[in-house]
Structure 1
Amino acid sequence: MKESTAVEQQIEQEAPERPARKRSAAKTGTAGAPTRPTKGRRSPEELQARILAAAIAEFAEHSYSGARIDKISKRAKTVDRMLYYYFGSKERLYQAVLEHLYAEMVEEQRSFVQTESDPVEGMKQLIAHSWHHYNRNPDLVRLLMTENLLRAKYVKKSAKIKRVSMPLVETIRSLLESGQQKQVFRKDVDAETVLMTVMALGFFYVSNHHTCSRWLGVDLMESQRRDAWLAHITGVVLGDLKPR
Protein backbone atom coordinates (compact mmCIF):
# COMPACT_ATOMS: atom_id res chain seq x y z
CA MET A 1 0.00 0.00 0.00
CA LYS A 2 1.09 3.58 -0.61
CA GLU A 3 1.71 5.85 2.31
CA SER A 4 -1.10 8.20 3.39
CA THR A 5 0.98 11.14 2.23
CA ALA A 6 0.60 9.87 -1.33
CA VAL A 7 -3.16 9.94 -0.92
CA GLU A 8 -3.04 13.49 0.36
CA GLN A 9 -0.92 14.52 -2.62
CA GLN A 10 -3.46 12.96 -4.99
CA ILE A 11 -6.33 14.73 -3.20
CA GLU A 12 -4.46 17.99 -3.24
CA GLN A 13 -4.03 17.70 -7.02
CA GLU A 14 -7.81 17.57 -7.44
CA ALA A 15 -8.32 21.02 -6.02
CA PRO A 16 -8.22 23.90 -8.52
CA GLU A 17 -5.11 26.01 -8.38
CA ARG A 18 -5.43 29.17 -6.35
CA PRO A 19 -4.04 32.39 -7.72
CA ALA A 20 -0.69 33.32 -6.23
CA ARG A 21 -0.96 35.86 -3.44
CA LYS A 22 1.09 38.98 -3.43
CA ARG A 23 4.08 38.85 -1.13
CA SER A 24 2.79 41.82 0.86
CA ALA A 25 -0.41 39.93 1.68
CA ALA A 26 1.34 36.80 2.97
CA LYS A 27 0.88 35.85 6.60
CA THR A 28 3.90 35.94 8.82
CA GLY A 29 5.04 33.51 11.48
CA THR A 30 6.43 34.26 14.90
CA ALA A 31 9.83 34.94 13.40
CA GLY A 32 8.41 37.31 10.82
CA ALA A 33 8.93 34.90 7.91
CA PRO A 34 6.03 34.35 5.49
CA THR A 35 4.06 31.16 6.15
CA ARG A 36 2.25 29.01 3.62
CA PRO A 37 -1.52 29.63 3.64
CA THR A 38 -3.42 26.77 5.25
CA LYS A 39 -5.19 24.68 2.65
CA GLY A 40 -8.24 22.68 3.66
CA ARG A 41 -7.88 19.02 2.78
CA ARG A 42 -10.51 16.35 2.74
CA SER A 43 -9.63 13.23 4.67
CA PRO A 44 -9.25 9.93 2.79
CA GLU A 45 -12.26 8.60 4.73
CA GLU A 46 -14.42 11.50 3.59
CA LEU A 47 -13.39 11.02 -0.03
CA GLN A 48 -14.08 7.29 0.07
CA ALA A 49 -17.52 7.95 1.57
CA ARG A 50 -18.31 10.40 -1.24
CA ILE A 51 -17.19 7.91 -3.87
CA LEU A 52 -19.30 5.17 -2.28
CA ALA A 53 -22.41 7.38 -2.13
CA ALA A 54 -21.93 8.40 -5.76
CA ALA A 55 -21.42 4.78 -6.80
CA ILE A 56 -24.62 3.69 -5.04
CA ALA A 57 -26.60 6.30 -6.96
CA GLU A 58 -24.96 5.47 -10.30
CA PHE A 59 -25.25 1.69 -10.01
CA ALA A 60 -28.84 1.96 -8.76
CA GLU A 61 -29.80 4.16 -11.70
CA HIS A 62 -27.90 2.40 -14.49
CA SER A 63 -27.18 -1.10 -13.10
CA TYR A 64 -23.72 -2.65 -13.13
CA SER A 65 -23.27 -2.80 -16.90
CA GLY A 66 -24.58 0.71 -17.56
CA ALA A 67 -22.75 2.53 -14.76
CA ARG A 68 -19.68 4.54 -15.76
CA ILE A 69 -16.63 5.36 -13.70
CA ASP A 70 -16.38 8.89 -15.09
CA LYS A 71 -19.96 9.62 -14.03
CA ILE A 72 -19.29 8.28 -10.53
CA SER A 73 -16.20 10.50 -10.34
CA LYS A 74 -18.25 13.49 -11.38
CA ARG A 75 -20.95 12.75 -8.80
CA ALA A 76 -18.27 12.39 -6.12
CA LYS A 77 -16.50 15.58 -7.26
CA THR A 78 -13.21 13.78 -7.71
CA VAL A 79 -11.22 12.16 -10.52
CA ASP A 80 -11.15 8.63 -11.93
CA ARG A 81 -7.72 7.78 -10.57
CA MET A 82 -8.99 8.20 -6.99
CA LEU A 83 -11.68 5.57 -7.55
CA TYR A 84 -9.06 3.15 -8.83
CA TYR A 85 -6.70 4.07 -6.00
CA TYR A 86 -9.22 3.20 -3.29
CA PHE A 87 -11.26 0.43 -4.94
CA GLY A 88 -9.04 -0.98 -7.70
CA SER A 89 -11.69 -1.58 -10.35
CA LYS A 90 -15.33 -1.05 -11.28
CA GLU A 91 -16.08 -4.60 -10.14
CA ARG A 92 -14.54 -4.05 -6.71
CA LEU A 93 -16.36 -0.74 -6.34
CA TYR A 94 -19.68 -2.43 -7.15
CA GLN A 95 -18.90 -5.17 -4.64
CA ALA A 96 -18.05 -2.53 -2.02
CA VAL A 97 -21.45 -0.92 -2.69
CA LEU A 98 -23.24 -4.24 -2.09
CA GLU A 99 -21.26 -4.86 1.09
CA HIS A 100 -22.10 -1.39 2.35
CA LEU A 101 -25.83 -1.79 1.68
CA TYR A 102 -25.93 -5.24 3.27
CA ALA A 103 -24.13 -3.87 6.34
CA GLU A 104 -26.66 -1.03 6.59
CA MET A 105 -29.55 -3.46 6.27
CA VAL A 106 -28.16 -5.71 9.01
CA GLU A 107 -27.52 -2.71 11.27
CA GLU A 108 -31.07 -1.53 10.68
CA GLN A 109 -32.39 -4.95 11.64
CA ARG A 110 -30.26 -4.97 14.79
CA SER A 111 -31.79 -1.65 15.81
CA PHE A 112 -35.24 -3.23 16.00
CA VAL A 113 -36.39 -3.89 19.57
CA GLN A 114 -39.18 -6.41 19.89
CA THR A 115 -42.13 -6.20 22.27
CA GLU A 116 -41.58 -9.43 24.19
CA SER A 117 -44.67 -9.16 26.37
CA ASP A 118 -47.01 -9.11 23.36
CA PRO A 119 -45.83 -11.32 20.45
CA VAL A 120 -48.66 -10.19 18.16
CA GLU A 121 -47.80 -6.52 18.65
CA GLY A 122 -44.11 -7.37 18.30
CA MET A 123 -44.75 -9.06 14.94
CA LYS A 124 -46.76 -6.04 13.76
CA GLN A 125 -43.86 -3.76 14.65
CA LEU A 126 -41.35 -6.03 12.90
CA ILE A 127 -43.42 -6.07 9.71
CA ALA A 128 -43.66 -2.27 9.77
CA HIS A 129 -39.92 -2.01 10.45
CA SER A 130 -39.07 -4.08 7.37
CA TRP A 131 -41.62 -2.28 5.19
CA HIS A 132 -40.36 1.19 6.09
CA HIS A 133 -36.75 0.14 5.43
CA TYR A 134 -37.58 -0.71 1.81
CA ASN A 135 -39.48 2.55 1.38
CA ARG A 136 -36.60 4.61 2.78
CA ASN A 137 -33.98 2.81 0.68
CA PRO A 138 -35.14 2.52 -2.95
CA ASP A 139 -31.50 2.28 -4.10
CA LEU A 140 -31.13 -0.90 -2.07
CA VAL A 141 -34.16 -2.37 -3.83
CA ARG A 142 -32.83 -1.45 -7.30
CA LEU A 143 -29.38 -2.84 -6.59
CA LEU A 144 -30.77 -6.10 -5.24
CA MET A 145 -32.80 -6.39 -8.45
CA THR A 146 -29.62 -5.85 -10.47
CA GLU A 147 -27.71 -8.45 -8.47
CA ASN A 148 -30.51 -10.97 -8.94
CA LEU A 149 -30.33 -10.42 -12.70
CA LEU A 150 -26.62 -11.21 -12.38
CA ARG A 151 -27.56 -14.36 -10.41
CA ALA A 152 -25.86 -13.06 -7.26
CA LYS A 153 -22.48 -13.11 -9.03
CA TYR A 154 -20.88 -10.43 -6.85
CA VAL A 155 -22.68 -11.34 -3.64
CA LYS A 156 -21.16 -14.82 -3.97
CA LYS A 157 -17.69 -13.32 -4.38
CA SER A 158 -17.91 -11.26 -1.22
CA ALA A 159 -16.48 -12.87 1.91
CA LYS A 160 -18.11 -10.12 3.99
CA ILE A 161 -21.60 -10.83 2.70
CA LYS A 162 -21.11 -14.59 3.10
CA ARG A 163 -20.71 -14.01 6.83
CA VAL A 164 -23.93 -11.97 7.05
CA SER A 165 -26.87 -13.43 8.93
CA MET A 166 -30.17 -11.61 9.14
CA PRO A 167 -30.85 -10.56 12.76
CA LEU A 168 -34.59 -10.51 12.06
CA VAL A 169 -34.58 -14.30 11.71
CA GLU A 170 -33.67 -14.67 15.37
CA THR A 171 -36.09 -11.93 16.35
CA ILE A 172 -38.94 -13.64 14.52
CA ARG A 173 -37.98 -16.98 16.05
CA SER A 174 -38.19 -15.43 19.50
CA LEU A 175 -41.58 -13.87 18.73
CA LEU A 176 -42.89 -17.17 17.37
CA GLU A 177 -41.81 -19.06 20.47
CA SER A 178 -43.46 -16.46 22.70
CA GLY A 179 -46.64 -16.54 20.61
CA GLN A 180 -46.73 -20.34 20.60
CA GLN A 181 -46.43 -20.42 24.37
CA LYS A 182 -49.35 -18.00 24.61
CA GLN A 183 -51.22 -20.07 21.99
CA VAL A 184 -51.70 -17.10 19.65
CA PHE A 185 -49.36 -18.48 16.92
CA ARG A 186 -49.49 -21.94 15.36
CA LYS A 187 -46.56 -24.26 15.97
CA ASP A 188 -45.95 -25.61 12.46
CA VAL A 189 -44.22 -22.51 11.07
CA ASP A 190 -40.58 -21.46 10.84
CA ALA A 191 -38.91 -18.05 11.18
CA GLU A 192 -37.30 -18.12 7.72
CA THR A 193 -40.67 -18.58 6.00
CA VAL A 194 -42.22 -15.71 7.94
CA LEU A 195 -39.31 -13.39 7.13
CA MET A 196 -39.39 -14.36 3.43
CA THR A 197 -43.11 -13.59 3.35
CA VAL A 198 -42.61 -10.17 4.96
CA MET A 199 -39.70 -9.34 2.66
CA ALA A 200 -41.43 -10.59 -0.48
CA LEU A 201 -44.59 -8.57 0.01
CA GLY A 202 -42.66 -5.41 0.86
CA PHE A 203 -39.92 -5.77 -1.75
CA PHE A 204 -42.30 -6.53 -4.62
CA TYR A 205 -44.42 -3.47 -3.94
CA VAL A 206 -41.46 -1.06 -3.93
CA SER A 207 -39.55 -2.70 -6.79
CA ASN A 208 -42.55 -2.94 -9.13
CA HIS A 209 -44.52 0.17 -8.23
CA HIS A 210 -43.74 1.91 -11.55
CA THR A 211 -45.24 -0.80 -13.76
CA CYS A 212 -48.02 -1.73 -11.33
CA SER A 213 -49.04 1.92 -10.95
CA ARG A 214 -49.26 2.13 -14.74
CA TRP A 215 -51.56 -0.82 -15.33
CA LEU A 216 -53.64 -0.15 -12.21
CA GLY A 217 -54.01 3.53 -13.14
CA VAL A 218 -53.06 4.75 -9.66
CA ASP A 219 -49.99 6.05 -7.84
CA LEU A 220 -48.95 3.21 -5.55
CA MET A 221 -46.47 5.42 -3.73
CA GLU A 222 -49.14 7.71 -2.33
CA SER A 223 -48.89 7.61 1.46
CA GLN A 224 -52.47 6.38 1.86
CA ARG A 225 -51.89 3.44 -0.50
CA ARG A 226 -48.59 2.54 1.16
CA ASP A 227 -50.28 2.55 4.57
CA ALA A 228 -52.99 0.30 3.16
CA TRP A 229 -50.37 -2.12 1.80
CA LEU A 230 -48.63 -2.27 5.18
CA ALA A 231 -51.98 -3.16 6.73
CA HIS A 232 -52.40 -5.86 4.06
CA ILE A 233 -48.97 -7.39 4.73
CA THR A 234 -49.71 -7.38 8.44
CA GLY A 235 -53.09 -9.06 7.91
CA VAL A 236 -51.62 -11.73 5.63
CA VAL A 237 -48.79 -12.65 8.00
CA LEU A 238 -50.78 -12.58 11.24
CA GLY A 239 -53.69 -14.39 9.60
CA ASP A 240 -51.34 -17.19 8.55
CA LEU A 241 -49.84 -17.42 12.04
CA LYS A 242 -53.17 -17.99 13.82
CA PRO A 243 -53.65 -21.48 15.26
CA ARG A 244 -55.69 -23.69 12.94
Structure 2
Amino acid sequence: MNLREKLLIDNRRVMEINDFLMNPDNRLINDVLEIIDKYGGVDEINRRAKEARRIDNLLAKLEKVNPSYVKDIEWLIEQRDKGTYITIDEYRRRVLGEKAEDMDFKEDYAVTLEISACQYFPFFMTEAKQALEKKELMPGRYIRVRNMKEQEKDGDLLAMTAAMQAIGASWCETLDTKGTDGSNIHLGGPETITGYFGGVGEPNDYPLRWLDEFLYYNTNYGVKQVLNVNPGTILVGYMLHKLGVDVEFKISVY
Protein backbone atom coordinates (compact mmCIF):
# COMPACT_ATOMS: atom_id res chain seq x y z
CA MET A 1 0.00 0.00 0.00
CA ASN A 2 1.40 3.39 -1.00
CA LEU A 3 1.08 6.42 1.24
CA ARG A 4 -1.88 7.94 -0.66
CA GLU A 5 -3.95 4.77 -0.26
CA LYS A 6 -3.85 5.20 3.50
CA LEU A 7 -6.25 8.14 3.03
CA LEU A 8 -8.89 5.92 1.44
CA ILE A 9 -12.12 5.74 3.42
CA ASP A 10 -13.22 2.16 3.86
CA ASN A 11 -16.65 1.46 2.34
CA ARG A 12 -17.69 -0.11 5.63
CA ARG A 13 -17.22 3.25 7.37
CA VAL A 14 -19.31 5.02 4.73
CA MET A 15 -22.06 2.45 5.22
CA GLU A 16 -21.98 3.07 8.96
CA ILE A 17 -22.57 6.78 8.38
CA ASN A 18 -25.43 6.06 5.97
CA ASP A 19 -26.96 3.62 8.44
CA PHE A 20 -26.80 6.31 11.11
CA LEU A 21 -28.48 8.89 8.86
CA MET A 22 -31.16 6.49 7.58
CA ASN A 23 -32.07 5.06 10.98
CA PRO A 24 -35.78 5.92 11.52
CA ASP A 25 -35.10 6.15 15.25
CA ASN A 26 -32.35 8.75 14.83
CA ARG A 27 -33.58 11.54 17.09
CA LEU A 28 -31.41 14.26 15.55
CA ILE A 29 -32.51 13.59 11.98
CA ASN A 30 -36.14 13.26 13.03
CA ASP A 31 -36.02 16.58 14.87
CA VAL A 32 -34.32 18.32 11.93
CA LEU A 33 -36.94 17.01 9.49
CA GLU A 34 -39.74 18.02 11.86
CA ILE A 35 -38.49 21.62 12.01
CA ILE A 36 -38.14 21.75 8.22
CA ASP A 37 -41.70 20.45 7.92
CA LYS A 38 -42.83 23.18 10.34
CA TYR A 39 -41.88 25.75 7.68
CA GLY A 40 -43.60 23.88 4.85
CA GLY A 41 -40.83 21.64 3.53
CA VAL A 42 -37.79 22.36 1.37
CA ASP A 43 -39.53 23.73 -1.73
CA GLU A 44 -41.83 25.99 0.28
CA ILE A 45 -38.92 27.27 2.37
CA ASN A 46 -36.96 28.21 -0.76
CA ARG A 47 -40.02 29.85 -2.33
CA ARG A 48 -40.80 31.91 0.76
CA ALA A 49 -37.17 32.97 1.18
CA LYS A 50 -36.94 34.12 -2.43
CA GLU A 51 -40.13 36.16 -2.07
CA ALA A 52 -39.02 37.63 1.25
CA ARG A 53 -35.73 38.76 -0.30
CA ARG A 54 -37.38 40.80 -3.07
CA ILE A 55 -36.73 44.50 -2.59
CA ASP A 56 -40.35 45.51 -3.16
CA ASN A 57 -41.51 43.14 -0.42
CA LEU A 58 -38.77 44.28 1.94
CA LEU A 59 -39.60 47.95 1.38
CA ALA A 60 -43.31 47.32 1.90
CA LYS A 61 -42.55 45.83 5.32
CA LEU A 62 -39.99 48.53 6.10
CA GLU A 63 -42.53 51.27 5.37
CA LYS A 64 -44.55 50.04 8.35
CA VAL A 65 -41.57 49.78 10.72
CA ASN A 66 -39.20 52.61 9.82
CA PRO A 67 -40.28 54.76 6.83
CA SER A 68 -37.16 56.94 6.96
CA TYR A 69 -35.06 53.93 5.98
CA VAL A 70 -37.15 53.46 2.83
CA LYS A 71 -35.98 56.85 1.57
CA ASP A 72 -32.38 55.80 2.19
CA ILE A 73 -32.82 52.61 0.17
CA GLU A 74 -34.48 54.54 -2.66
CA TRP A 75 -31.55 56.98 -2.66
CA LEU A 76 -29.12 54.06 -2.80
CA ILE A 77 -30.95 52.50 -5.76
CA GLU A 78 -30.96 55.87 -7.54
CA GLN A 79 -27.19 56.24 -7.17
CA ARG A 80 -26.68 52.68 -8.39
CA ASP A 81 -28.85 53.20 -11.46
CA LYS A 82 -27.14 56.51 -12.30
CA GLY A 83 -23.73 54.88 -12.01
CA THR A 84 -22.50 57.60 -9.67
CA TYR A 85 -20.15 55.36 -7.70
CA ILE A 86 -16.54 55.08 -8.79
CA THR A 87 -15.70 52.02 -10.86
CA ILE A 88 -12.72 49.72 -10.31
CA ASP A 89 -10.98 51.10 -13.41
CA GLU A 90 -11.58 54.69 -12.31
CA TYR A 91 -10.31 53.92 -8.83
CA ARG A 92 -7.14 52.36 -10.22
CA ARG A 93 -6.47 55.44 -12.34
CA ARG A 94 -7.15 57.68 -9.36
CA VAL A 95 -4.63 55.83 -7.20
CA LEU A 96 -2.00 54.84 -9.77
CA GLY A 97 -2.36 57.56 -12.35
CA GLU A 98 -1.61 56.99 -16.03
CA LYS A 99 0.49 53.90 -15.39
CA ALA A 100 -2.71 52.04 -14.45
CA GLU A 101 -3.51 51.84 -18.18
CA ASP A 102 -0.45 49.68 -18.84
CA MET A 103 -0.62 47.50 -15.74
CA ASP A 104 -1.81 43.90 -15.82
CA PHE A 105 -4.10 43.21 -12.87
CA LYS A 106 -4.56 39.60 -11.77
CA GLU A 107 -8.33 39.42 -11.53
CA ASP A 108 -8.13 35.82 -10.29
CA TYR A 109 -6.68 37.21 -7.05
CA ALA A 110 -9.16 40.03 -6.62
CA VAL A 111 -9.67 41.25 -3.06
CA THR A 112 -13.14 41.57 -1.53
CA LEU A 113 -13.56 44.60 0.69
CA GLU A 114 -15.43 43.56 3.83
CA ILE A 115 -16.83 45.48 6.79
CA SER A 116 -16.93 43.39 9.94
CA ALA A 117 -19.02 44.18 11.70
CA CYS A 118 -21.68 46.48 10.28
CA GLN A 119 -24.17 46.53 13.13
CA TYR A 120 -26.46 49.42 12.25
CA PHE A 121 -28.05 50.56 9.00
CA PRO A 122 -27.30 54.28 9.60
CA PHE A 123 -23.61 53.39 9.74
CA PHE A 124 -23.95 51.63 6.39
CA MET A 125 -25.56 54.73 4.88
CA THR A 126 -22.75 56.90 6.25
CA GLU A 127 -20.28 54.61 4.51
CA ALA A 128 -22.31 54.70 1.28
CA LYS A 129 -22.36 58.51 1.23
CA GLN A 130 -18.69 58.81 2.16
CA ALA A 131 -17.69 56.42 -0.62
CA LEU A 132 -19.60 58.57 -3.08
CA GLU A 133 -18.25 61.87 -1.78
CA LYS A 134 -14.60 60.80 -1.51
CA LYS A 135 -14.64 58.49 -4.53
CA GLU A 136 -13.81 55.43 -2.47
CA LEU A 137 -14.66 51.86 -3.35
CA MET A 138 -17.84 50.61 -1.72
CA PRO A 139 -17.26 47.33 0.17
CA GLY A 140 -18.96 44.29 -1.32
CA ARG A 141 -19.36 42.16 1.81
CA TYR A 142 -20.78 42.83 5.27
CA ILE A 143 -20.67 40.77 8.47
CA ARG A 144 -23.31 41.48 11.10
CA VAL A 145 -23.45 40.29 14.71
CA ARG A 146 -26.24 42.42 16.14
CA ASN A 147 -29.05 40.87 18.19
CA MET A 148 -31.60 39.57 15.68
CA LYS A 149 -34.76 40.33 17.65
CA GLU A 150 -33.55 43.85 18.34
CA GLN A 151 -32.83 44.65 14.70
CA GLU A 152 -36.03 42.97 13.59
CA LYS A 153 -37.97 45.35 15.83
CA ASP A 154 -36.35 48.63 14.72
CA GLY A 155 -36.19 47.85 10.99
CA ASP A 156 -32.43 47.46 10.66
CA LEU A 157 -32.76 43.86 9.48
CA LEU A 158 -35.17 44.81 6.70
CA ALA A 159 -33.11 47.84 5.69
CA MET A 160 -29.79 46.01 5.58
CA THR A 161 -31.27 43.10 3.64
CA ALA A 162 -32.78 45.51 1.11
CA ALA A 163 -29.51 47.45 0.85
CA MET A 164 -27.58 44.26 0.15
CA GLN A 165 -29.97 43.42 -2.69
CA ALA A 166 -29.70 46.96 -4.04
CA ILE A 167 -25.91 46.99 -4.32
CA GLY A 168 -25.41 43.29 -5.04
CA ALA A 169 -23.33 42.66 -1.92
CA SER A 170 -23.07 39.50 0.15
CA TRP A 171 -23.76 39.61 3.87
CA CYS A 172 -23.81 37.31 6.86
CA GLU A 173 -26.06 37.50 9.93
CA THR A 174 -25.28 36.05 13.37
CA LEU A 175 -28.23 34.32 15.00
CA ASP A 176 -29.16 34.74 18.66
CA THR A 177 -28.80 30.99 19.30
CA LYS A 178 -25.01 31.12 19.25
CA GLY A 179 -24.56 30.14 22.88
CA THR A 180 -23.56 33.50 24.35
CA ASP A 181 -26.75 33.73 26.40
CA GLY A 182 -25.21 31.89 29.33
CA SER A 183 -25.97 28.42 27.99
CA ASN A 184 -22.34 27.68 27.09
CA ILE A 185 -20.48 27.48 30.39
CA HIS A 186 -17.08 27.88 28.72
CA LEU A 187 -17.72 31.36 27.33
CA GLY A 188 -16.54 34.26 29.44
CA GLY A 189 -14.10 32.23 31.52
CA PRO A 190 -10.60 30.77 31.20
CA GLU A 191 -11.88 28.21 28.69
CA THR A 192 -13.43 30.83 26.43
CA ILE A 193 -11.28 29.87 23.44
CA THR A 194 -12.44 26.27 23.78
CA GLY A 195 -16.03 27.43 23.74
CA TYR A 196 -15.60 29.78 20.79
CA PHE A 197 -13.44 27.68 18.52
CA GLY A 198 -14.64 24.20 19.34
CA GLY A 199 -18.20 24.83 20.38
CA VAL A 200 -17.46 22.75 23.46
CA GLY A 201 -20.13 23.32 26.07
CA GLU A 202 -22.89 24.13 23.60
CA PRO A 203 -26.11 22.41 24.79
CA ASN A 204 -27.27 19.60 22.52
CA ASP A 205 -30.59 21.27 21.74
CA TYR A 206 -29.02 24.50 20.49
CA PRO A 207 -28.35 23.30 16.93
CA LEU A 208 -32.08 22.63 16.67
CA ARG A 209 -32.90 26.05 18.12
CA TRP A 210 -30.43 27.51 15.64
CA LEU A 211 -32.18 25.70 12.78
CA ASP A 212 -35.59 26.96 13.87
CA GLU A 213 -34.29 30.51 14.22
CA PHE A 214 -32.54 30.41 10.85
CA LEU A 215 -35.62 29.16 9.00
CA TYR A 216 -37.71 31.88 10.64
CA TYR A 217 -35.45 34.67 9.37
CA ASN A 218 -34.88 32.88 6.08
CA THR A 219 -38.57 32.59 5.24
CA ASN A 220 -39.65 35.96 6.66
CA TYR A 221 -36.70 38.19 5.74
CA GLY A 222 -34.77 36.30 3.10
CA VAL A 223 -31.66 35.84 5.27
CA LYS A 224 -29.54 33.32 3.40
CA GLN A 225 -26.10 33.30 5.03
CA VAL A 226 -25.47 32.98 8.75
CA LEU A 227 -22.50 32.56 11.04
CA ASN A 228 -21.73 29.11 12.43
CA VAL A 229 -19.61 28.88 15.55
CA ASN A 230 -19.83 25.26 16.67
CA PRO A 231 -19.86 21.73 15.22
CA GLY A 232 -23.57 21.19 15.91
CA THR A 233 -24.81 24.08 13.78
CA ILE A 234 -22.23 23.30 11.10
CA LEU A 235 -23.58 19.74 10.89
CA VAL A 236 -27.17 20.96 10.67
CA GLY A 237 -26.12 23.52 8.06
CA TYR A 238 -24.63 20.77 5.91
CA MET A 239 -27.83 18.76 6.34
CA LEU A 240 -29.93 21.71 5.18
CA HIS A 241 -27.78 22.09 2.08
CA LYS A 242 -27.90 18.36 1.35
CA LEU A 243 -31.69 18.36 1.69
CA GLY A 244 -31.94 21.17 -0.86
CA VAL A 245 -32.49 24.30 1.24
CA ASP A 246 -30.83 27.31 -0.41
CA VAL A 247 -28.57 28.18 2.51
CA GLU A 248 -25.05 29.53 2.90
CA PHE A 249 -23.06 29.72 6.10
CA LYS A 250 -19.78 31.14 7.31
CA ILE A 251 -17.75 28.97 9.65
CA SER A 252 -16.08 31.32 12.09
CA VAL A 253 -15.90 32.35 15.72
CA TYR A 254 -18.03 34.81 17.62
- Normalised by the length of structure 1, the TM-score is 0.28
Structure showing greater Rg: 1
- Name whichever structure is richer in strand by fraction: 2
- Normalised by the length of structure 2, the TM-score is 0.27
